[in-house]
């Protein structure tokens, strides 16, 4: 039920105020009186509104309006209504810009939010609902969004990434009492089972043979440390008596420490003296793979690092720390081994691991 309170500063008394909860909305207002008798009379009226709202939850908005009218603040009702049911795209933008301000997301994640923002804008324009309200984004609109993804021929991974952003946004709205619960269940698109992305030493050498000496240094270091592409450009170098270490910021600004192996120091010094843009490394790797007649991704070097660590005896939970995964389920994806790779490891370890990595 509602309650009234009176703020004081020393002997000075201020007007009574009231706080109540109507539906999912917590409302506060000054009663503009210092009389407890008048304040109590208004409180009783608010209590009646609270009870009616519980008995008729489908009319909560009407009871919220009655509250503000009783307070003599009809403008506040309009502001409140816009705050709890804003335009969907306005609220979505406020969500990701707030996360960026609070350093919850990085600039790379911000770009994902912006890309999805463009998707939503296009979707709303197609269905002529550009100013769609938050509470009007229902199951039908989700179905339209899934159809839009299919028409754009997005991969299952891309679809799941954008749906995850939608889920994060709805959770953000729930935390701010804009909605009580998610209005629908957000699906997860089934992704095809991928084979382990491991580069055998001979194949890795073929890639090195088809690129520049600078890119060779980058590829060597990615394979030897398991760094993500962007982490090579977001670090603090720490030199200690036991070697060179990097304090890197990964996804979600999570920090971890990465060791630069002694046999990689020359490559590391070359990289520091010759910084390049991240997309240049990806392009160079793609060209090298094409020249070597191989199909591989730069991220496969991270997979190779993971399997190499396990093969030389690193336990999975230590690997999770080295990879910078907050969830062990993510690490397990990197631990998948097909039968052919397992037989190669048992019969001839050097076929999978070059000598320097076995002795690491």
Helix (H, G, I), strand (E, B) or coil at 190: coil
Phi-psi map region of 226: left, alpha, beta (phi>0 left; psi -120 to 50 alpha):
left
The pLDDT assigned to 353 comes to 60
The pLDDT assigned to 349 comes to 57
The residue range of the domain holding 154 is 88-175
Residue 184, in any domain of the structure: no
Quote the pTM value. Answer: 0.56
* Domain stop point among 38, 63, 84: 84
Residue 196, in any domain of the structure: no
The pLDDT assigned to 51 comes to 93
Number of structural domains (the chain) is 3
The token pair that represents 302 in the structure block: 């991270």
The token pair that represents 263 in the structure block: 């046999």
Domain shared by 219 and 349, yes or no = yes
Residue 180, in any domain of the structure: no
Residue 17, in any domain of the structure: yes
CB-CB contact of 276 with 214 (8 Å) = yes
What residues form DSSP beta bridges with 257?
Answer: 247
CB-CB contact of 30 with 39 (8 Å) = no
Domain shared by 209 and 317, yes or no = yes
Domain shared by 72 and 100, yes or no = no
Helix (H, G, I), strand (E, B) or coil at 3: strand
Q: Tens digit of pLDDT for each residue in 166-194?
A: 999 999 998 887 887 888 899 888 877 66
* Domain stop point among 158, 175, 192: 175
Place of tokens 């509104």: 49
Domain shared by 43 and 153, yes or no = no
CB-CB contact of 79 with 91 (8 Å) = no
Where the chain has pLDDT below 50, the residues are: 355-360
Domain shared by 22 and 92, yes or no = no
Domain shared by 24 and 103, yes or no = no
Domain shared by 38 and 98, yes or no = no
Q: Tens digit of pLDDT for each residue in 339-350?
A: 666 666 656 556
* Domain stop point among 135, 157, 175: 175
The pLDDT assigned to 308 comes to 83
Domain shared by 306 and 226, yes or no = yes
Residue (of 263, 274, 243, 86) closest to 176 by Cα position: 86
Distance CA 37, CA 319 (A): 68
Domain shared by 251 and 290, yes or no = yes
Q: How far are the Cα atoms of 47, 114, 292, 352 from residue 117, in angstroms, in the given order? A: 42, 5, 39, 44
């Amino acid at each position: 039920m509602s309650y009234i309170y009176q703020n004081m500063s020393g002997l000075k008394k201020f007007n009574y105020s009231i706080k109540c909860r109507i539906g999912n909305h917590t409302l506060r207002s000054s009663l503009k009186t210092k009389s407890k008798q008048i304040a109590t009379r208004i409180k009783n009226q608010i209590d009646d509104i609270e009870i009616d709202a519980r008995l008729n939850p489908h009319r909560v908005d009407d009871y919220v309006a009655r509250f503000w009218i009783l307070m003599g603040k009809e403008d506040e009702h309009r502001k409140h209504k816009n705050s709890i049911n804003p335009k969907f795209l306005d609220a979505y933008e406020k969500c990701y810009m707030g996360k960026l301000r609070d350093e919850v997301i990085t600039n790379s994640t911000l770009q994902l939010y912006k890309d999805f923002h463009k998707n939503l804008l296009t979707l709303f324009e197609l269905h002529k609902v550009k100013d769609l309200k938050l509470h009007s984004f229902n199951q039908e609109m989700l179905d339209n969004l899934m159809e839009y993804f299919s028409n754009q021929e997005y991969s299952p991974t891309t679809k799941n990434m954008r749906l995850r952003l939608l889920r994060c946004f709805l959770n953000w709205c729930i935390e701010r009492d804009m909605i009580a619960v998610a209005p629908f269940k957000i699906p997860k698109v089934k992704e095809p089972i991928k084979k382990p992305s491991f580069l055998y030493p001979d194949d890795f050498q073929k890639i090195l043979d088809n690129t520049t000496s600078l890119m060779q240094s980058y590829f060597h270091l990615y394979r030897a440390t398991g760094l993500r592409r962007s982490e090579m450009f977001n670090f603090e170098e720490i030199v200690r008596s036991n070697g060179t270490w990097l304090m890197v910021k990964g996804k979600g600004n999570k920090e971890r420490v990465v060791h630069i192996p002694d046999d990689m120091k020359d490559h590391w010094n070359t990289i520091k003296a010759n910084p390049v843009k991240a997309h240049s490394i990806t392009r160079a790797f793609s060209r090298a793979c094409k020249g070597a007649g191989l199909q591989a991704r730069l991220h496969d070097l991270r997979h190779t690092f993971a399997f190499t660590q396990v093969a030389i005896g690193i336990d999975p939970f230590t690997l999770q720390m080295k990879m910078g995964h907050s969830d062990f389920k993510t690490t397990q994806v990197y631990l998948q081994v097909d039968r052919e790779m397992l037989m190669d490891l048992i019969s001839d370890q050097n076929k999978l691991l070059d000598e320097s990595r076995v002795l690491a």
